[in-house]
Structure 1
Amino acid sequence: MLGDAWLWVAVEWSPPDYAEDYARGGFDALTTVTLLVAALVKAAFLWLILRAPAPGPLDRRARALRRLLYLAVAYTLVLWYPIALLSDAVDSALGLALWTAIDVLYLLVIRWRSRMLRAAAGAMFAVELAGMADELLDELDLPELGSGGIVGPGLVLGGVAATVITVVGQRRDGRWSRGTQTVGWLSVGVYALVIPFNVLFGRFSSGNLAMLVMMDAVGLVNTVWIAATARELPAEGRPADLPPARRRVIRVAVAAVAVLPIIALIHPEQTPRLAYTGWSTDCYDRPNFGDLKPAERDAAFLCLARSTEGGAPPMFPDSLSDQEILAYGRALCRTKDGDEQEAILTRAGSARPAWGADPRDLVYVCPEIVGAAHPELLRSTTEEEAANTAHIAEENAKCRDPWPRTKGVVQATATYFLFVDGDPGYLVHDPGDEAAEEAAEQAMDKVYDDSALIGVAGSAVLIGHIEDVVDLCLTVKSFRTAPPRRPAGWDQVNEVPIVSRSGRLTVPEMGEGGEVGAGAPMPNLAIAGKGRYRLRVYVRVDDAGEEQHLVAVFPGASRKRLKLTP
């Protein structure tokens, strides 16, 4: 009668502006019906919560426990709102202090009748409080007890275990009725429903507000149990046990609460999900086929098929089920050309059908087909590293020292691997120079302005390649004095100045997992330490189209550029 805002206040016990935050355009029919049903459920729970305490004497500890339990009930029903006006850190600190006191009193007041059970209860309470302390540390921006994977869920499950062991203690104590114990077990079932809901709710749309209302109502079961625990603390005046018929009804309710959450988490056949999705952070780490177990390969393909890495549209729309995407993927494996792939992707509703499918993606769903044409895609990380090492060694073995009789103080010969698409060349530079990056950029800019394709910028010299090659044979030698020129047999011989500000001059090496750089360790060519050097570059292309470079470095103060041949 008063409108959606006041319906929200009556059922959710929170200010009317909260309703606007969840549904600015008003509640739909489903949400309205859910609120009305939740009102009846919460009214029944509230009647159970507000029942008068059982009469009987209490000692000092039991009296303190009853007051703290009722304080926890008051916090859930009323006090949460004014405390929410304070900072989250204050809220977390108050909750930690309250439940620390309650758990300590649980250990002292409940008659556990077993030292082992009391010790187990203490351990579970400690885990529960550790979870609350971890939350407080997070609010204070302090280092947490642990991150992500195991610690977080472990602390949450510790809280559930604390509830379980408290109910077990109540049963062994004998003061609490079967009804109270049953509500305790129901609260454990509610945990089984609420925990996955809280994890998944961030992905739900606002259309699922009805589910939020329902979970809020069901969550009061734990408050009912806390209130019943406080009410039945006296040894005298213990309520009579429930009749057998009501016990059976309660057992059915407990079983339903325990089983229904599991059923709710099972997706229908048309919308199942596996381990990886387009939202997964692991989706950006492409695993090697050989590193995956057979059961993990479909999940890896689903990850890549739904990935939006780099802002690119996914291969398949997210509306398709796992089974549909896997079926389309295996169909793509059997195609003969790009047109067939485009037709399949168009039929699947892909936002980029013309792109086709990469064999590196398809290998996860049809290794027998893709592996026949690309056996390297079947390797594990270890096999791939071994193959790369063998390839680099094989390429290095093809290169020979063009001056075998002229030994440098230090020297090395190796293949220098370039970027496949438009790498300008390689650097001889001082990596210890504070302005190393700026010098490298300037040398790269100058290389295109020089007919010999040599860019000079202080402590960096960029030497370009004259043919369109993806790698070249490079020999570097350092001398104490200028070596003989010997230009015969070389297409280009040029000499330029370079300076070492840190006492180092070298050529970049191929790093771990890298694709560019020298295939073998490169020596420090600045054998005289800091100062000015001359750098002589020999370049030629053999009959097979292979490009060879010889770099000779020696001390020299001249700043002239010399063209020695042709």
Structure 2
Amino acid sequence: MPRRSWVHRVSKGWAAATLTAVAPSLFFWVIWTLTGDYGSRSYLSMSSGSCLGWDIYDQVSPWAYPVKAVPLFSYGGAPLIVLGFAGWYLSVRRGRAGLGRIIGRCVAVVLLVLDLPLFLLPTLDAALGPACEAMWGPPELLSRQIGWGLYDCLPPILVLLAVRAPRHAYIRRGPVVRTAAGVLAVTAVVLLPAASAPPGKVSAQWELGCPGFGDDTVPRVNAAEKDFLCAVRDHDHRYGSGLERWDGVSDQDVLAQGRHLCALATRHGGDTGARAVQEAPQASLAIVLPSLCPAVASARQSEEDRWQAESDASVAREERACAAHPRHRPKIRPVRQRRATLWTAFWTIEGWEDGYEGNPPDLVKDLVGSGRGALAIWAADEAGSACVTVESYTRRPPLEVRGWDEVVEVGYESPTGSLQLGGGEGPTLKGLTVRGAGSYRVRVHLRGRKLVYQVAYPPDGAVELLVQVFPGKAKKPVVYR
């Protein structure tokens, strides 16, 4: 082959390598110019366990990414290729074609060292099985990772082909070979960058028709899938703060990962607490999985039913224990006497009047406290129940201290005459202030506190309270026992 023709052919090879390297950046620049969307999307990738490809990538990436951030390696390594071409051309002009080939091969090797792992490592883990494949994220993301890594290897391969030693005789390739090469080149330059474009639609809340938003205009999404997407994207407030890290993941990928996790949970009886489910890369979707996965929904419902049955049984035991206590026999007849089992999760049961709910008052002797329209009575060591008897009088009842461990009386100002007493669970006892708005005294009798503090699990009905409410203008609290 004449020297001039050989140089021209090699130059075209360098030009093809440069164009291939810079093509993705040009493609996305055109997309951004036309649509204002650069095509970037965020993915949540979580990993557990150990896989060879991912472990190597984890070790290599800390130094590979800073190197690739050098301007010489930007635009797919195009600046390095152009610099290598200049070195090759000058070497050939000076009659040192061998040095030019060395320069070209060095450029190719550097780019392959940086880019080949991005193709080989995920391909290796994909071959090792689903568990290792999942380390790289959703299947669609893994496919794009492998395709993109393969594409990045094309420029250095073109450089190697360009600087190979010239043949003494030109061998014309057949039409089939030339056509296949052309198709592969077009596919690499056009289709692979397009595959890295926005991977799918991320539907807005009004499109999904999430509770309180829009009218459900997203096609090909059934009710279960819509509820699942709404929950993932934090549009369903039943799940609190939601799963914000999945917000940028396309509907298609979110649903695919949800179905994958559903299949895994189904194999474990719908139990999202199973170790295999908890260690899955998509494990953060487990909290919203019932809307998409019947097996998980059934398991959750069974768990809720079991918990409710246990709670109902506990309530029934407490009520039977309280009912077994002898009724209080007052020394004078009250206007009303009521008994109830009341529960609390924050130490006290509360008394309040409409419009005066707020912070509970401080307790006197850690038993009873009062404020205008507010009352608080100790009932449990943080969480528990108490057997409560409430008596309302039109006049002061005789003092009773026998049989009670503690007796404290405080003043109470009723702004509306509608004082009611209740806990976190159980009935609400109303009509405690029989003379309407005005000044009252509240006398509280307690027994069982010592037992509650002495044992971790006190017996049912351990705490008994007698609350007497009667008119009185005195404000100062009185401790009788």
TM-based fold match above 0.5 = no
Structure-2-length-normalised TM-score: 0.44
Structure with greater contact order relative to length (CA < 8 Å, sep ≥ 6): 2
TM-score normalised to the size of structure 1?
0.38
